[in-house]
Amino acid sequence: MRLSVTGTGAGMIALMKRALLLLLSWVTIAHAADVGISPARIDVLGRPGETVIATATIVTTAATPQSITSSASDWTMSATGDVAFLAAGSTAFSAAPWLELDVDDFVLEPGGSREARLAVTVPADTGAEGTHHAIVFFTVAPPPSETAGVGVATTTRIGLVVYVTVAGTEQRGSELIDIFESDGETITVVVLNSGNTLMRLGGTIELRDELGMVRHRLDVPDVAVLRDSERELHFALPEGLESGFYVALALIEDSRGGLLAGELPFEVP
């Protein structure tokens, strides 16, 4: 089945306003049981015209059956890592139209699990290049209210992030474009992914004293940097760092095999 599009726009705003008014009233709130998914991210490599099958398992710990609905959505990420969700197919590098689940909406039995098979078809004639991405949401449909009167049901939504790279079109490129002390207590590093594929980060920030000795190592988090975008990384200076002159040496690893290096002299009063 083709994944449905996540609702947006005026209808969604009206729904949010209605929910807020209900929450301000005397209401009964029914909590949906927890659900989980494994894996939470899928990376697919496919040539134009090729269909690749991937699987994910949805599980529940609920003591009652859980009705699950699915939908696809686009998403973007800012330099600070904030994520925004958009209508499926609305972004330049959307993979949402390429996705199809082999199951319609389904029911998870108490304490049970269900495998979802995802067919990813790379179009043969669009000229798509590099990495495209989307997210598949699995949402627990709230059960009917068992009490009289007006009520609000909360629910659970989990997401499966999907990255699709068009094989043979990959272009690499990365740069450490800035490193600075932002507030006297934080070192900020700005990394640019100038390639057309997904990049993940790793490595360390070494804090060296005036003799060149490494006093502290700060781990670079494993975060994604989308194609043609920047990502800011913030590193808090260790508490109790002694006064003196230091150099922060950034040794950032690019998951595509590159090493980004930069340094920042700073002083702790």
Q: How far apart are CA 24 and CA 33, in angstroms?
A: 23
Domain boundaries, the chain: 4-166, 174-268
Closest-CA residue to 159 (of 139, 131, 133): 139
pLDDT tens per residue, range 77-128:
999 999 999 999 999 999 999 999 988 799 999 999 999 999 999 999 888 9
Given phi > 0 = left and psi -120 to 50 = alpha, else beta, which region is 64? Answer: beta
Degrees, nearest 5: CA angle 45-220-255:
20
If one counts every other C-beta atom within 10 angstroms of the C-beta of residue 239, the result is 6
Dihedral sign from CA coordinates of 194, 85, 31, 140: negative
What top-level class would CATH report for the domain 174-268? mainly beta
Helix (H, G, I), strand (E, B) or coil at 31: coil
What CATH topology corresponds to 4-166?
Answer: Immunoglobulin-like (2.60.40)
pLDDT tens per residue, range 33-49:
489 999 999 999 999 99
> Model-level pTM?
0.81
- On the question of a common fold for 4-166 and 174-268, the answer reads yes
